[in-house]
Chains A and B, each alone.
Chain A
Amino acid sequence: MERLNGGTSVALVLATLVIGLGGVGCKQTGRVPITADTRGERESPKILPIALIEFSDQVPDLLARDLYSLPVVRDTPGDVRIILGDIKNSTGGLVPTSDFELVQGRIRSNLINSRVGREKLVFVERRARLARIADAEAVVGDDPEFPVTPEPYDAQNTYTLLLDVERVGRGDTQLYRMDALLVSFLNNQIVFSKDYEIKQVN
């Protein structure tokens, strides 16, 4: 076989590059795994989505583990009610609060579908929201029998799940901390806390 001449070699390299780059280019767009690290994410100073996912997976696991060991929970007969609470977003406006609602939603969904969720926890809607739904659904007339809103919740076994987020930013470096807190409605006691830190350099 003859040796490839210079032009042929160049063509070979170029062909490889074109095909290779074409492939890479195509792979970079479209549907990607939710844990994938993308260019759009790397270029943004906002907290990485993977951090939101990891944190919202960790909290339910730990909460499920700790819940039975908490005297206030263990000693309370019946179900433990949890209402999703507020999000304190102290990122200086850089990250929208709706991003952390996704975290809250995932924590709640994970807990509902966990063993402890099925056995001991009851996530309840805010009564105001329920009232709105019930109001909208009861189209014609008023029915005193119809439970427009559930009975007020008992503070003894009702908790709220809060989320605090803080950011420290210097130049291209951002440090984020998220903290999930389970707080008793009875005495404001924090009965569970789990935090998560991530430092990003853009």
Chain B
Amino acid sequence: MRVGGVLTLWVAVVLVGGCHAPRLETPTDAVLTGQYTEAAAFVRRQVVEEKGSRRYVLTRMRVGVMELAAGEPERAEGSLAEVYDLLRTQGINADKTVATVVVNEGVRVWKGEPFEQALAMTYFGLTEGVLGSWDNVRAAAQSSLFYLRDFGQGDEGSGARPRVTGSVGVGVGAGGGGGRSRVRTGGVSSLDLMLRAAEAEERGEPDYLDTGYVAEASDFTLGYLLHGIASQQLGRDDEARDYLDRAVWLNPALGPLRDRLWDEPYNAVLVASYGLAPRKEAYGPGRALARFVPVFGSTPSRLSVSVDGRQQAESHVVTDVNRLAIDHRWNNLEDLRLAKVALGRAGILVGSVIASRGFSRDNDTVGLIGLGIVALGFYMEYQAQANTDYCDVFPQRFYVVPLWLEPEDGVASEGSTVEMQVGNRPGASARLDGVRGAAAGQPAKLIYFRVPAYNGNGSAGDGDRRRIASSLGSE
């Protein structure tokens, strides 16, 4: 990547800044200490009623996530059904990127980044699963496995029709495994993409951000795993095998979990989440671009689960939300489009390309001309700061564990006691009493539980708690 071009763009975005709506307040303490009913009530108070509001979907998504954590699946179903219906509505933001967002960013409807949309669909599926509907878990998981836009490392797709590669759900090929995770991390930077867009525009090609990608199958491991388990519960073994194999292909550490699902009896599936999703923040001196910054670190800590005092299972991290958040394929690049439009109107985009060429050839004159155009653009342009709304109550990670619990078959019993521990972190644990699995012959029960980061007796974690609260701006 040409250093001069990047520098010029960087200088450009410095001057493209502005104001934005105040951030929604996160119920950090309640979420981290497992007081989910309070957290649900807190986010419920922030619900926006106007359908045209940018935060209509966002505020309902937060409520659904917290209501499920609070053990209120019937209420969560109402919130998430509405979110799902809106996410399935196409073209809500058509033409608003150019015409409206720059003038008044508040009008564009927030649907979340693709990874937030996939998580919202997963939460809807989990809610339906807790209500006993495995077919809907399957459908929601399928909905979460949409194609992603991959801009790759080169610009081979520039100006061409987007291509579709791979497939979703099946056809993982023989010999999957090999011990290394196939999920990608990082990727192309925002500034790289901006410069490619500028160059394409200068060549008179169609918008790079709309055409320069290759459509690629999702690598949302949790979606494949839940689809596989749901298919298994519905007696669709071939389909289950395809999806479970795909999950293991993406993350070979899940191999033992897959084997357990096939080889050992279970009457409950525990889906556990932990931590807080990465925080979205504007960056660059102009705060024109947005990025996600981890709140909880991406540690490989496993979840240990004991039933009635006996360790029954251990789970690797199935999906790390931090990883999705920093991958450009899981982002809708709204901030880039916004910045690009603003820069383009001011002539800055073209100036950036001229400057990048000048600097790359050590031709100071050309570079200076480019910078001159950029500087002129500064005076012509208004401010367009990146929007930093995000679903702050999503967890940082998910675990999945099949369990055998005291069955719900009418026999008088206390049920099972389930204890969970994330890694060996003090306070990151929970205990559930009187939990029952499905009766003989019935589909397994789906249990969702959000493991608190501080369960009240872990004083060693108080420092971290303060740090996290501080990073979220709520302390």
User: CB within 8 Å of B: which residues of A?
Assistant: 44-45, 86-87, 89, 91-94, 96-98, 128-129, 132, 135-136
Q: B282 at the A/B interface (Cβ < 8 Å)?
A: no
- CB<8 Å pairs between A and B, sample of 25: A45-B164, A86-B238, A87-B238, A89-B170, A91-B171, A93-B169, A93-B170, A93-B171, A93-B172, A93-B242, A94-B167, A96-B169, A96-B170, A96-B239, A97-B238, A97-B239, A97-B242, A98-B239, A128-B235, A129-B235, A132-B235, A132-B441, A135-B441, A136-B441, A136-B442
Whole-angstrom CA separation of A98 from B235 in the bound complex: 13
Please name the residue on chain B nearest to A172 by beta carbon. Answer: B163
Please name the residue on chain A nearest to B238 by beta carbon. Answer: A97
Nearest CB of chain B from residue A47's CB, rounded to whole Å: 13
Nearest CB of chain B from residue A82's CB, rounded to whole Å: 19
Whole-angstrom CA separation of A45 from B235 in the bound complex: 29
Contacts of A94 in B (CB 8 A): 167, 171
Please name the residue on chain B nearest to A46 by beta carbon. Answer: B167
Whole-angstrom CA separation of A44 from B164 in the bound complex: 9
Nearest CB of chain B from residue A46's CB, rounded to whole Å: 9
Total chain B interface residues with beta-carbon distance under 8 A: 12
Nearest CB of chain A from residue B140's CB, rounded to whole Å: 15
Tell me which of A86, A92, A96, A132 has the highest count of chain B C-beta atoms within 10 A of its own C-beta. Answer: A96
Whole-angstrom CA separation of A136 from B235 in the bound complex: 15
User: CB within 8 Å of A: which residues of B?
Assistant: 164, 167, 169-172, 235, 238-239, 242, 441-442
Q: Are A92 and B167 in contact (CB under 8 A)?
A: yes
Nearest CB of chain A from residue B230's CB, rounded to whole Å: 12
Whole-angstrom CA separation of A92 from B170 in the bound complex: 8
Contacts of A136 in B (CB 8 A): 441-442
Whole-angstrom CA separation of A92 from B242 in the bound complex: 12
What secondary structure prevails in chain B residues at the interface with A?
loop
Q: Are B171 and A92 in contact (CB under 8 A)?
A: yes
Nearest CB of chain B from residue A62's CB, rounded to whole Å: 27
A-B contact count (CB 8 A): 31
Known: A87-B238, A92-B171. 9 other contacts (CB 8 A): A44-B164, A45-B164, A92-B167, A93-B167, A93-B169, A94-B167, A96-B239, A132-B441, A135-B441
Please name the residue on chain B nearest to A29 by beta carbon. Answer: B90
Nearest CB of chain B from residue A131's CB, rounded to whole Å: 9
Nearest CB of chain B from residue A84's CB, rounded to whole Å: 13
Report, nearest first, the 4 A-B pairs whose CB atoms are least far apart: A93-B171, A93-B170, A93-B167, A135-B441
Contacts of A44 in B (CB 8 A): 164
Please name the residue on chain A nearest to B170 by beta carbon. Answer: A93
Nearest CB of chain A from residue B157's CB, rounded to whole Å: 15
Contacts of A98 in B (CB 8 A): 239
Contacts of B172 in A (CB 8 A): 93
Whole-angstrom CA separation of A94 from B169 in the bound complex: 9
Contacts of B242 in A (CB 8 A): 93, 97
Whole-angstrom CA separation of A84 from B441 in the bound complex: 23
Whole-angstrom CA separation of A142 from B91 in the bound complex: 55
Contacts of A87 in B (CB 8 A): 238
Whole-angstrom CA separation of A92 from B164 in the bound complex: 14
Tell me which of A44, A45, A98 has the highest count of chain B C-beta atoms within 10 A of its own C-beta. Answer: A98
Contacts of A129 in B (CB 8 A): 235
Nearest CB of chain B from residue A39's CB, rounded to whole Å: 12
Whole-angstrom CA separation of A20 from B81 in the bound complex: 35
Nearest CB of chain A from residue B411's CB, rounded to whole Å: 14
Nearest CB of chain B from residue A143's CB, rounded to whole Å: 15
Contacts of A92 in B (CB 8 A): 167, 171
Q: Are B235 and A97 in contact (CB under 8 A)?
A: no
Whole-angstrom CA separation of A135 from B439 in the bound complex: 11
Contacts of B167 in A (CB 8 A): 92-94
Whole-angstrom CA separation of A136 from B132 in the bound complex: 14
Tell me which of B169, B170, B441 has the highest count of chain A C-beta atoms within 10 A of its own C-beta. Answer: B170
Tell me which of B167, B239, B242 has the highest count of chain A C-beta atoms within 10 A of its own C-beta. Answer: B167
Whole-angstrom CA separation of A93 from B145 in the bound complex: 14
